[in-house]
Amino acid sequence: MPASRYTARSMSQTVTPPPGPPQTDSERHKWYVMAVIALGTIGAVILSTSFNVAVPALMQHFHVGNDEVQLAVTTFMVTSTIAMLPTPWLIQRFGLRASFLGAVALLTVSSLAGSFSPSFNLLLLARSVQGICAGILYPLGTFAVMSLFPPSRQGRASGLLGFSIVLAPAVSPALGGVIIDHYGWEAVFYISIPFCLIALFGGWRHMPVHDAARHQDFDWSGMLLLSTMTLAFLGTITHFQGSGEGDLLLYGELLLAIGTLAGFLYHAKHSPRALVGIEIFRRPTLVMGLAISSIYGFGIYGSTYLIPLYLQTIMGLSATHAGAILVPGGIGLALSLPLAGWLADRTSPRFVVLGGLIMLALSFAGMALVAARGAYDFFIELTLLGRVGSGLIIASLNQAAMQGLHGPLLAQSAMFIGYVRQLGGVLGVAAVAVYIAWRSIELGGSSMESHAHVFAEAFLISTVIFSLAAFTAWRMRPNRDNDTAV
């Protein structure tokens, strides 16, 4: 089918539509593009969230331990985080359409290859490729929202995009469990293929053609610096409990992380082709958005790991019971996204972000009080409150931080705000696991009361983290230099 004549050049400009009349064919076409990108992103997200239910089957089939199978989970998270970095260059060099179709096609092939893996090492390779494809796809939705839609509709578009993507992790573990029980571990790789195939067809038919490919050398130096920084920070947290030689490794990784961060900032300032230009760090609103995104990622990913762990290890609930407690929160999160987008279009997006962060802080403050008593009453209500707050943030943070940006700066910002959120998430999960283990040893108690106190502290730390992010959101101000954001 022929590609749409709606070109990528129009995506680099934001045009405010005249008030009053119904949507034109061009406006409808933008929603078609968003739907296609959402389907491709769902294909990536569902691979991340459904894989955990296949862990026992993979251990039995490949005769490997839990640590080795968890390596496949960690590999996906790390590769998807690092793979976000070249997305602006891919958009600028090949266009949104080619970048999207290439990533979805490779995701489809790697999913098929993973299902036929004769060894665990080949399966690990397939998961790495899937993570790379997911990392490329994640920022494309944000870029499309900010470049396709005028400010008056960006909140609604972000809300609907987030709504469709959030539904995937809500249903994929249950769906994955059913198909694995009937068709084996291979089926966990098939679950994304229908979404990918529809996205490929829709993308080929509806997505804009890149009208002028500009050759630009890829910034390998910046990629190496940020990738090394990512791995070094992750290693620093995971080796926090080390002793003896482990202490040397910890300090070495910390110095490496700080050194590569400083090197990256120097590189961004002096290289005209930097992966992320220094201009991003000269915009206070965008910098605050990056800070909020990283803090939010750290807190929400870490707490998502923390809540079911508390319910199962301290309260002794089954996985089914613990999951049932979290279901209303997942539904609340999905339903809050369209509402949050509507609010962001009609008021300042930073106020919507601020409201969401306050709700998250209150949610975890309540959990800290409940956990201090060694109980879990009101956890359903508290989880629902926090997830609705998350929905407000997801639908409005990008708009608050990047409103008025376009061109290469928009592509870099869309990538980097997703990168720091994902990086914060990876570090958050590792930090929560390390803190729980460390504090349990420090308290020296084996009673449930002692362990419950550790979790109460962790919930309280989450409260402080979200309160810090809320203070940052309160300090945000609208961009005053939008006209120069090219």
Both tokens of 285, joined, read 């609103």
**pTM (global) more than 0.85:** no
Residue whose tokens read 């229908």: 194
Residue 241 pLDDT level (bands cut at 50, 70, 90): low
Q: How far is CA 460 from the centre of its chain?
A: 23
Amino acid at 43: G
User: Do both 118 and 131 map to the same domain?
Assistant: yes
User: Do both 179 and 245 map to the same domain?
Assistant: no
CATH of the domain at 76: 1.20.1250.20
Highest mean pLDDT of the ranges 60-69, 96-105, 148-157, 473-482: 96-105
User: Do both 285 and 430 map to the same domain?
Assistant: yes
pLDDT at position 72 is 79
Q: Is it the case that residue 366 has pLDDT exceeding 90?
A: yes
Calculate the average pLDDT of the chain: 79
Check if the beta carbon of residue 427 is closer than 8 Å to that of residue 229. Answer: no
Across 399-431, b (16+ Cβ under 10 Å) vs e yields bbbbbbbbebbbbbbbbbbbbbbbbbbbbbbbb
Residue whose tokens read 């990086």: 423
State in Å, rounded, how far the first CA of the chain is from the last one.
34
Which one of 186, 208, 230 terminates a domain?
A: 208
Question: Does residue 109 lie within any of the structural domains?
Answer: yes
User: Do both 145 and 231 map to the same domain?
Assistant: no
Question: Does residue 441 lie within any of the structural domains?
Answer: yes
Q: Is it the case that residue 4 has pLDDT exceeding 50?
A: no
pLDDT at position 199 is 93
What SS3 state is found at 96?
A: helix
Highest mean pLDDT of the ranges 14-28, 150-164, 335-349: 335-349
Q: Which long-range contacts (CB under 8 A, 24 or more apart) does 26-35 make?
A: 29/4, 29/206, 30/148, 30/149, 31/157, 32/202, 32/206, 33/144, 33/148, 33/206, 33/207, 33/208, 34/141, 34/144, 34/145, 34/148, 34/157, 34/160, 34/161, 35/164, 35/202
485 or 173, which is more confident: 173
DSSP per position, 268-310:
HHH-TT-SS-GGGGG-HHHHHHHHHHHHHHHHHHHHHHHHHHH
Both tokens of 301, joined, read 């990913």
The residue-averaged pLDDT of 261-272 equals: 89
Across 41-70, b (16+ Cβ under 10 Å) vs e yields bbbbbbbbbbbbbbbebbbeebeeeeeebe
User: Do both 228 and 184 map to the same domain?
Assistant: no
The DSSP element (H or E) to which 125 belongs, if any, is helix 120-148
Check if the beta carbon of residue 426 is closer than 8 Å to that of residue 78. Answer: yes
Q: Is it the case that residue 129 has pLDDT exceeding 90?
A: yes
The residue-averaged pLDDT of 168-193 equals: 74
What SS3 state is found at 82?
A: helix
Question: Does residue 355 lie within any of the structural domains?
Answer: yes
Question: Does residue 71 lie within any of the structural domains?
Answer: yes
Question: Does residue 486 lie within any of the structural domains?
Answer: no
Question: Does residue 485 lie within any of the structural domains?
Answer: no
The string of pLDDT tens digits covering residues 438-474 is: 887 777 656 677 788 888 888 998 899 889 888 888 8
Q: Is it the case that residue 407 has pLDDT exceeding 80?
A: no
The string of pLDDT tens digits covering residues 6-48 is: 444 444 343 344 444 444 557 778 888 888 998 998 888 888 7
Q: How far is CA 54 from the centre of its chain?
A: 22
Highest mean pLDDT of the ranges 153-162, 279-288, 471-480: 279-288
16: how many CB neighbours lie within 10 A of its CB?
9
Check if the beta carbon of residue 419 is closer than 8 Å to that of residue 264. Answer: no
Amino acid at 22: P
The string of pLDDT tens digits covering residues 367-405 is: 999 988 888 888 889 988 988 888 888 778 877 788 777
pLDDT at position 157 is 79
pLDDT at position 15 is 38
pLDDT at position 210 is 62
Q: Is it the case that residue 100 has pLDDT exceeding 90?
A: yes
User: Do both 317 and 362 map to the same domain?
Assistant: yes
User: Do both 244 and 177 map to the same domain?
Assistant: no
Of 116-125, 170-179, 252-261, the least confident: 170-179
Rounded to the nearest 5 degrees, what angle is found at the Cα of 169, between the Cα atoms of 69 and 315?
75
Question: Does residue 214 lie within any of the structural domains?
Answer: no
Residue 361 pLDDT level (bands cut at 50, 70, 90): very high
User: Do both 162 and 180 map to the same domain?
Assistant: yes
User: Do both 204 and 345 map to the same domain?
Assistant: no
Domain extent for 194: 25-208
How far is it, in rounded angstroms, from Cα 368 to Cα 376? 10
Of 45-59, 74-88, 108-122, the least confident: 45-59
User: Do both 137 and 166 map to the same domain?
Assistant: yes
Domains contained in the chain, number: 3
Q: Is it the case that residue 327 has pLDDT exceeding 80?
A: no
pLDDT at position 256 is 93
Distances (CA, A) of 221 to 105, 243, 255, 260, 276: 28, 33, 19, 11, 11
User: Do both 243 and 328 map to the same domain?
Assistant: no
User: Do both 472 and 371 map to the same domain?
Assistant: yes
168 or 128, which is more confident: 128
Check if the beta carbon of residue 168 is closer than 8 Å to that of residue 137. Answer: no
Question: Does residue 388 lie within any of the structural domains?
Answer: yes
Which one of 183, 208, 233 terminates a domain?
A: 208
Which one of 208, 231, 256 terminates a domain?
A: 208
